[in-house]
Structure 1
Amino acid sequence: MDENMKKLTKEKMIANYYRLLGSVMSARFCLENSLPFRGHDESEESNSQDESSDVSLKEQMAVVVRFVDKLWAVRESFIRIIHVKDTASTTLKQAIDDLLASNQLSINTVRGQSYDGASNMRGEFNGLKALILKDNPSAHYIHCFAHQLQLVIVVVAKKHASVKTFYEFLSMVVTTVSASCKREDMLREEKRLEWKKRYLKFDPSKILAFAKMYPDDFTTQEIGSLLGDIESFRHTISDDDNFEDLNGISDLARVMVEMGTHSSCPTVYRIVKLALLLPVATATVERCFSKLKLVKTDLHNRIARNS
């Protein structure tokens, strides 16, 4: 082994070092943030695009629904793991349609969809997202942010030495903060103050552009008067102490309902709800498969092959 290492050129050793560094840093980030690992090949030539099977060797798809409950909190609820014959986009689309119909839900009420970067999922013309968008243009697609981050880290870590230094410092910051409850409280307070500064300085033009993405949820008249409604809402909350200690957009929706602002500013409240519904990561889906692998072991699978 030592002889083989000596034969490696300096360039190859450096390249291998950064590949290993990228993998270690990605793993550390996923572990610290409870994000799923993704190790399968998602290239167009791969036979395991977005593949998820257990010891029964069945292709499966997990479906999780994101919604705002009666207490105005964002929920992500696991519905079911579906057995599919293959991972073709048409097969997955039909399975989703059947599942929604069996639960008395409609694809037309969907306001967002999120997957990883497999071509059968995000294809512009024949991918699953495209098929759903044909039925419902308001079901906007979001490439899982955790997956995007991992891809970027791996690529950048191969070419830039400064990435190593950045993640070393980031690791030390995370370790230092997580080791103290007091420092964690300070970080939460800073986050709250930052959120307050940002939501009081929101850009009305961006909110208007966001609303125009949902033509089925806003009439032409509502779009025309939206900028005025936003200014009215800004004036309403500026002098209200109940909107002082918010910790995110979910808190904003809750306080709006508690104070009755959702009735006086219905279009603004509708925008808040739509923003809450947008999925930004598929971590919940990945956790479903992780739990399934803990339950459905090879021994359990032998009990009933069709289970």
Structure 2
Amino acid sequence: MEGFFKRKESSSGPNMVDLDKLPWDPADRIRILDYHPDQRDEIRRKYWLNGPCQPRGHNFPTKLIGKKKRRFVKTWFDDYGKWLEYSSGNYVGNQGGRDVFSQQGCHAWNKAIDTFETHVGDVNSAHNKALKKCEDLINQNQSIATNFHKQDDITKKANRIRLNATINDCRLLLKNALSFCGHDESKKSLCKGNFLEIMDLIMLHDKELRELPKAAGNNQYLSPSIQKDIANCFEEEVVSSILKEIGDDVFSLLVDESSDVSKKEQMAIVLRYVDAHGLVKERFVGLVHVMETSSLALKYAIDTFFAKYGLSLKRLRGQGYDGANNMRGEFNGLKAKILEENSSAYYVHCFAHQLQLVVVTVARKHLGVVNFFDNLSILMNIVCSSCKRTDILRYNEKERVEKEIGSGILETGSGLNQELSFIRPGDTRWNSHYKTLIRLVDMFPSIIRVLEYVKKECNNPSTQNQAFKMIGFLSSFEFAFYLHLMLHILGLTDILSRALQRKDQDILEAVLLVETTKGKLQEFRERGFDPLLEKIHLFCEKHNIEIMDMTENYISGGGPRAKRQRYDMTNQHYYKFDCFNTVVDMEIQEFGDRFTEINTKLLQNMTAFNPFDSFSKFDASILMRLCEFYPYDFDNGEKVVLAHQLDLYIDSVRKDEHFSNLSGIADLARVMVETRKHISFPLVYRLLKLTLVLPVATATVERCFSAVKIVKTNLRNRIGEDFLNACVVCAVEKEALESVTNEVVIDRFQKMKSRRGQL
């Protein structure tokens, strides 16, 4: 049974613990007395700074008491906000201890108010005495160390000035994702690092800071531990501001995992929600190191993160991941584990996760495509492995372009015929495979010349042999076929891939693009083989590649005749049915798997909200069907009221000129808030928000990993997990970082631990 504030006894010895890994749910905590004596005050301080565990968005379960169903009321958090906590842990043993909340907790909801008041008691009660001790612990001026070492007002003012300068320095470095430390931080060093260099610059232009008296005990607020504490303060304030924006509202979860430069698996967590102004926001809230990427480990990491910040899975209304098998599994994946707890957390595949890479990965299930891309990788290694070969490629390409311009084949003009390079496709670069194939077609004659040069002039026999085999492969019909097949498929998905990477992508436009792309793939499958074959023949004629007779029997392999095998089918049958149809069918099936039947209906119903053309697609019956997907958000009575609100809503917005030129449902939510129609039609606005939080098209999580690569580099690969998380959160959420004032940081910094200098 769920209840609040229960402690769990510890069976372990008094070992020192990591303060950042303390359990946040009261049901999982151990007694303070079970910790090491030297660490108890730090643990008390950490719990106090993070505040009570109050999951306001949780669906509090009911309990039959007498003849009535009772449950916890979240408004009690407002009345007893300083100390009241709620736990969803499982209780064992005696549950009747009203006077010992810290041991057994309480779930007698019919007598909760009386129990709370009795527990608080009078001024001298045990509760109020404990509360006073906690406040004294946080208040540095009440500590024994401070009273032994009294500091005058001049010293305190000097400490505050120094700390302000350090905070400004850290803010600049965090905002721009710059490193803090240097190779040699001594006073005479010319490589002090960004932090000390900027501090010297601040002192040069700040006369007041420069003329301060010498800090007592070298208390200058410049040490690496101080820098990390300030970074942590900024991170906590940024995340707190984001969670404050979400409040008790619904949101969606976006997760991706990738390894950093030191080969640690990192999981980025992004929350998508609609703020108080009706704006859709996707905010990065944390980077979590996971020892393994199994669905169970990822789910545990998410549960821990949610518990830490008081978030509830019950408020989740969407989830989007990168498509890896351990996260997409129908039964064992992370998606399924979350759906077990919340059936309204609909999974929508995050298409922006390198769509071109997904297309290539799916196609590589075909042996012919595998062979094509493996040879492409070898070709890249031969042509681009040395500066000399790259220069030869550029020179030959320049010579070819000049010749074709002179003969009138190419036109001249601004921006035309720029110098090209044969780029290597990368798993972390969007559209790179498509660009590589385009360059291969454009630079084909120059690439052949480089291979011929390597075959004749290279001193390495192995590389010479590779170049010889590669020339043979590039001169084959099979190469031309797979080159144009993959080029066409990647071209069809390129527009969708680019559109889904935009930050301002509208959900309805995304659905339309997906459906259009699926339709084009199906059309290509039914009528595209013959036009594709014509393009291949033109390419072969242009580059003197032998055109295959499609009526002859297919012969496998390109090696010696003894190893070839003749099949009882024509080349036409093999290339059309075994290659073309199979590869295209794989892509069509993959697109279908990304949008399940439930999600397709869900997204199609959302089109009824489209404000385009004076809400021409509005249909109240469709929106009522959409409402059925969210049983936790609309009870039977609210569904009746919603039907009436929809009739009034459509007449109201069609007559209001503010709604006449909207581009999408994201704009619709914003204008509803601006015109205060979200107050007049609260249920309509609630349904609209549920559609907006679904993460159909987003590249936010991918951009977070771009920040990780900037923060954690080869020269900075030993940065700790907590410091890395603080740096990345601040670097990504620059707007929230700017809104954090120095005073707020100073207050949190002072309360984190006992400080030598007082402010």
- TM-score, normalising length: structure 1: 0.68
The residue that corresponds to 1:248 in the other structure is: 664
Higher Cα Rg: structure 1 or 2?
Answer: 2
Kindly state the Cα deviation for residue 303 of structure 1 after the two structures are TM-superposed: 6.1
Q: What does 1:226-241 align with in structure 2 at a 5 Å threshold?
A: 226-241=642-657
Per-residue CA shift, 1:209-251, capped at 9, x if unaligned? 2211110100112224544432221111111111112122122
Query: 1: CA distance between counterparts of 2:276 and 2:716?
Result: 38
What's 2:717 paired with?
A: 301
The question of whether the paired residues in 2 share the 8 Å contact of 1:74 and 1:276 is answered with yes
Q: Percent identity between the aligned chains?
A: 51
Please identify, of 210-219 and 273-282, the stretch whose mean Cα deviation from structure 2 is larger: 273-282
Partner of 2:488: 164
Q: Could you tell me whether the CA contact under 8 Å between 2:280 and 2:666 is conserved in 1?
A: yes
Q: Is the 8 A contact 1:204 1:230 kept in 2?
A: yes
Please say if 1:271 is aligned against 2:595.
no
Once the two structures are overlaid, the 10-residue window that deviates more, 125-134 or 256-265, is 256-265
Higher relative contact order (CA 8 A, sep 6+): 1
> 1:134 aligns to what?
340
Is the CA contact 1:114–1:281 (under 8 Å) kept in the aligned structure 2?
A: no
What code does the residue aligned with 1:285 have?
V
- Mark the CA change 1:265 to 1:70 in structure 2 (over 3 Å): closer, same or farther: closer
Q: Distance in 2 between matches of 1:207 and 1:148?
A: 32
User: Contact 1:67–1:277 (CA<8 Å) still a contact in 2?
Assistant: yes
The answer for the alignment partner of 2:350 in structure 1 is 144
* Aligned counterpart, 1:14: none
Query: Equivalent of 2:274, from 47, 51, 68?
Result: 68
Q: Report the residue type matching 2:316 in the other structure.
A: V
**Deviation readout 1:188-212 (Å, 9 max, x if unpaired):** xxxxxx9522733223333222211
Q: 1:106 aligns with which of 303, 312, 319?
A: 312
How many pairs were matched up?
Answer: 236
Alignment correspondent of 2:264:
58
What SS class does the counterpart of residue 258 from structure 2 fall into? coil
Residue number in structure 1 paired with 2:619: 203
Task: Give yes or no for contact 2:611–2:668 (8 Å, CA) kept in 1.
Answer: no
1:116–1:282: 8 Å Cα contact kept in structure 2?
Answer: no
> Which of 291, 294, 317 is residue 85 of structure 1 equivalent to?
291
Using the alignment, how far apart are the partners of 1:114 and 1:71 within structure 2?
Answer: 24
Deviation, structure 1 residue 115: 0.7
* Shift in CA distance, 70/124, structure 1 to aligned 2, threshold 3 Å: same
Aligned residue number for residue 32 of structure 1: none
For residues 11-68 of structure 1, give each alpha carbon's deviation from its aligned partner in whole angstroms, at most 9, with x where no partner exists.
xxxxxxxxxxxxxxxxxxxxxxxxxxxxxxxxxxxxxxx7511122111100001111
TM-score (norm 2): 0.29
Cα RMSD after superposing both structures: 3.1
Range moving further from structure 2, 145-154 or 294-303:
145-154
Partners of 1:289 and 1:79 lie apart in 2 by 13
- Aligned CA distance change for structure 1 residues 251 and 286 (closer, same or farther; 3 Å): same
Structure 1, 90-99 or 139-148: larger mean CA deviation: 139-148
Q: Which runs of 5+ in 1 are unaligned?
A: 1-49, 175-193
CA contact (8 A) 1:115 1:282 kept: no
1:96 to 296, 299, 302: 302
> Structure 2 stretches of 5 or more lacking a match?
1-255, 364-433, 435-481, 499-609, 724-759
Task: Name the CA distance, whole Å, in 2 between partners of 1:282 and 1:51.
Answer: 15
Q: Larger deviation: 226-235 or 260-269?
A: 226-235
- Separation (CA, whole Å) in 2 of partners of 1:165 and 1:87: 31
Question: Using the alignment, how far apart are the partners of 2:309 and 2:721 within structure 1?
Answer: 26
User: For residues 485 and 642 of structure 2, what CA distance do their matches in structure 1 show?
Assistant: 48
Distance, in Å, in 1 between the alignment partners of 2:266 and 2:352 is 21
- Per the TM alignment, residue 132 of structure 1 is displaced from its structure 2 partner at its CA by 0.7
Counterpart residue type for residue 230 of structure 1: L
**2:689 partner letter:** K
Residues 70-97 of structure 1: CA deviation (Å, up to 9, x unaligned): 2221111111110011001011011001
The separation in 2 between residues aligned to 1:120 and 1:60, in whole angstroms, is 15
Aligned-partner SS, 1:80: strand
Alignment-mate amino acid for residue 285 of structure 2? I
Task: Give the Cα separation in 1 of the matches to 2:349 and 2:691.
Answer: 16
Distance 1:75 1:134, change over 3 A: same
2:488 maps to amino acid: K
The residue type paired with residue 283 of structure 1 is A
